[in-house]
Amino acid sequence: MSIGYVWNTLYGWMDTGTGSMMGASVGARLQPITHHLAHPDTKRRFHELVCASGQLEHLRSIQAIKATAEDINRVHVPEHLQNMQRISALPAGGDAGDGVTMLGNGGLEIALLSAGGAIELTRKVVQGEVSSGYALVNPPGHHAPRQGALGFCVFNNTSVAAAYAREVLGLKRVAIVDWDVHHGNGTQDIWWQDPSVLTISLHQHLCYPANLGYTTERGEGDGHGYNLNVPLPPGGGNAAYRYAMEKVVVPALHAYQPELIIVGSGFDASIMDPLARMMVTAAGFRNLARTIIDCAKDVCEGRIVFVQEGGYSPHYLPFCGLAVIEELTQVRTVADPFNDFLTTMGGDELLTAEREAVDSAAKLVRDIR
């Protein structure tokens, strides 16, 4: 069975503004710069490595189709889409609402293609046209709550895809596993009271957003117990993430028995990322991918969809992403050229604080039915 792959040229055209994070400001002495931290070139470089490595020959290209208003409004309030339409129509676009998420002129089309790319891959996996796949979409989505945009995220792509799988494709249970280094607050918010989608977030504790992502955040009402957070101490590397997968993620997925697993695949836990303080290498992401792909074979006949989230190192993200693609295709092409340098910096030893953090989250798996 073929492996699906989504990329659209417009993903590389996302206008993130002229500042490093928020907009450039003479008054605040924030100089304009050609590369915003979330500049789309980082994702484009990932795609180009997929092409240059020869991996594209082992993937089935899937065309992204713009998500509809109905698709977006399943997980967001209608006013959010209306606001994005308004901002996108401005001559130079503008702030999407939080001071750092910029939507350039015409950017709505790109954001809808991003959500739509996640939908199309999900549809083809569920309907059996491909066995699994990777949606290299942009902009990312997991910070966007029901009410609006946040943290470089316009629409919550994984949630849009999960809602489509539930309401259009007829699935009863979907799991979203988010290993982006920042807490998946938007995904948590959207499914807070809904047991039909299990949400699991592995993240650096209190990195972003502030004061969210604790293990005590479990969901409410019928959704209680179906939101799992695994907040890891800063400095966690391959060993901490491997332990979290073994002790929390895999047991939770076995307990829940989803019909589809959607992975929020961020690479900002990498040792070279500027927006976090974790130490995962490409080999670590390879292990994460292998573990969850094998788990999907056990619990949902291999139905797994990877959807791109964050990652801000233009140098290293392409190689971390390629490692995940290689685990999908089972074809090795390009070795990590940074490996020998980075593996001397630590991260392969499980520290006591990391073990304790994971063990605390693991106790919550027993509540999943």
3-state secondary structure the chain: CCEEEECCHHHHHCCCCCCCCCCCECCCCECCCCCCCCCCHHHHHHHHHHHHCCHHHHCEEECCCCCCHHHHHCCCCHHHHHHHHHHHCCCCCEECCCCCCEECCCHHHHHHHHHHHHHHHHHHHHCCCCCEEEECCCCCCCCCCCCCCECCECCCHHHHHHHHHHHCCCCCCEEEEECCCCCCHHHHHHCCCCCCEEEEEEEECCCCCCCCCCCCCCCCHHHCCCEEEEEECCCCEHHHHHHHHHHHHHHHHHHHCCCEEEEEECCCCECCCCCCCCEECHHHHHHHHHHHHHHHHHHCCCCEEEEECCCCCCCCHHHHHHHHHHHHHCCCCCCCCCHHHHCCCCCCCCCHHHHHHHHHHHHHHHHCC
Q: Are strands 3-6 and 132-135 parallel, antiparallel or unpaired?
A: parallel
Q: Looking at 36, 47, 80, 143, which residue is catalytic?
A: 143
Residues ≥6 apart with Cβ < 8 Å to 9: none
Residues ≥6 apart with Cβ < 8 Å to 173: 196, 197, 198, 256, 257, 258, 259
143 is catalytic: yes
Q: Are strands 174-178 and 132-135 parallel, antiparallel or unpaired?
A: unpaired
Question: What residues act catalytically?
Answer: 143
